[in-house]
């Protein structure tokens, strides 16, 4: 098998020998037992004559090709979320174009699941004067998505976190916004480990109190809520919350550390999934969920287990830079020809971090073509002055 020298933590380079790629089998021809959506990354255009830190340009063909790849595996797409640099480089006009193009692409996949993020990110939080400004911003984005025929994920709002003075303020905003959407939405509760400006969301820094406030909003507007996604990396809170949700409301795990057990569930319920980690581990997800759908929990666990160390490494602190690992995986596996990211975030983690992504992906059987991946890893190593 292919070999190369890789950096190890606090030590010299060490020889690494690639394993065999895993055959995850055919795409199942039956519906999966869980709704499973990947929040996919986007691809930058490195040839654009702009400042890549302040004026990023999307490589549309490669970006949309990856959405088609996910649908082809039987997974859904959660478009224009934080994996696509929402709130960290992807502005609202470009996000809306991405949503429009993805909706058009989805029509080639009968039954394709596609939801898209609506937030308030075109409103600078510093310019938000009151709750009405936040409501108007939400309305603007929700309306734009629904006019395209899209379904909405109602993203957490930095502007609301800034101006809200109490849980009642959150209830007021969500009630107004939800009353105007055409179709039920997925509410996204994003934790401060992903975005420090969202600390104290739902009106409390205590997670249990915040959960109860969120549940109150959901219960009061249940006919306009399809599900709720919580991205808090707290499996116990997610389990407590899903056990008291109204029966009509789906729980979507956003826990990139503990997703296998949350999706599998227990005697009292389970979580569906809307995850950034599903972008780089998509083939394993399809195979595992196919096994779970067939009732083979042992196979489900066996497929998922090797992905957990990779996920916990990619999403380690500082968690907001997880996109570096996600895009690096897409580069290694030949889904895009380069490793250039919005805002120069290819440099957001160290070379040893990238080397560990490489090793852990290989150990999970997720490197599709070892020779190509080794050549690409060597290209990155040379950029850091490592030859051979």
Q: How many residues does the chain have?
A: 388
Domain with CATH 3.20.20.70 in the chain: 35-305
State the pLDDT confidence band at 388, using cuts at 50, 70 and 90: low
Residue pair 115/82 in contact (Cβ under 8 Å)? The answer is no
Q: Detail the DSSP E strand segments found in 81-224.
A: 114-118, 151-154, 185-190
Give yes or no for residue 52 having a pLDDT over 80: no
State the pLDDT confidence band at 12, using cuts at 50, 70 and 90: confident
- Ramachandran class of 304: left when φ > 0, alpha when ψ lies in -120 to 50, beta otherwise: alpha
**How crowded is the C-beta side of 119, counted as CA atoms within 13 Å?**
28
The CA distance from 242 to 235, in Å, is 11
Q: What DSSP element (H or E) covers 326? A: helix 323-332
Segment among 5-14, 65-74, 227-236, 282-291 with least mean pLDDT: 5-14
What CATH number matches the domain at 35-305, 2.60.40.1930, 2.40.70.10, 3.30.565.10, 3.20.20.70?
Answer: 3.20.20.70
State the pLDDT confidence band at 87, using cuts at 50, 70 and 90: confident
Tokens of 292: 């779970």
Count Cβ atoms below 10 Å from residue 275 Cβ, excluding itself. Answer: 26
């Amino acid at each position: 098998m292919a070999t190369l020298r890789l950096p190890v933590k606090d030590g010299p380079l060490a020889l690494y020998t690639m394993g065999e790629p895993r055959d995850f089998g055919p795409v199942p021809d039956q519906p999966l037992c869980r709704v499973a959506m990947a929040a996919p990354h986007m691809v930058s255009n490195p040839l654009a004559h702009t400042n890549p830190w302040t004026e990023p340009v999307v490589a549309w063909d490669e970006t949309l090709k990856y959405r088609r790849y996910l649908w082809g595996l039987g997974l859904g797409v959660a478009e224009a979320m934080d994996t696509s640099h929402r709130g960290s480089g992807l502005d609202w006009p470009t996000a809306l174009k991405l949503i429009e193009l993805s909706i058009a692409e989805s029509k080639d996949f009968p039954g394709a699941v596609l939801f898209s993020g609506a937030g308030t990110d075109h409103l600078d939080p510093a310019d938000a004067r009151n709750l009405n400004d936040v409501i108007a911003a939400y309305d603007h984005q929700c309306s734009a998505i629904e006019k395209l025929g899209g379904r909405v994920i109602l993203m957490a709002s930095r502007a609301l976190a800034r101006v809200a003075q109490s849980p009642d303020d959150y209830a007021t905003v969500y009630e107004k916004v939800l009353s105007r959407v055409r179709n039920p939405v997925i509410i996204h509760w994003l934790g401060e480990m992903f975005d420090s400006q969202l600390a104290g969301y739902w009106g409390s820094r205590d997670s249990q109190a915040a959960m109860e406030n969120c549940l109150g909003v959901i219960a009061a507007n249940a006919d306009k809520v399809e599900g709720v996604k919580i991205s808090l990396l707290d499996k116990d809170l997610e389990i407590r919350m899903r056990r008291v949700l109204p029966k009509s409301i789906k729980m979507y795990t956003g826990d990139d550390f503990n997703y296998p057990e949350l999706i599998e569930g227990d005697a009292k319920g389970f979580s569906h999934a809307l995850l950034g980690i599903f972008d780089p581990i998509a083939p394993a997800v399809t195979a595992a969920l196919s096994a779970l759908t067939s009732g083979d929990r042992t196979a489900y666990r066996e497929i998922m287990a090797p992905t957990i160390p990779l996920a916990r490494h990619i999403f380690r602190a500082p968690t907001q830079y997880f996109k570096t690992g996600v895009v690096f995986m897409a580069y290694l596996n030949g889904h895009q020809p380069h490793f250039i990211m919005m805002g120069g975030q290819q440099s957001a983690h160290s070379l040893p971090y990238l080397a560990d992504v490489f090793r852990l992906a290989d150990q999970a059987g997720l490197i599709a073509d070892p020779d190509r991946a080794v050549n690409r890893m060597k290209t990155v190593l040379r950029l850091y002055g490592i030859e051979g």
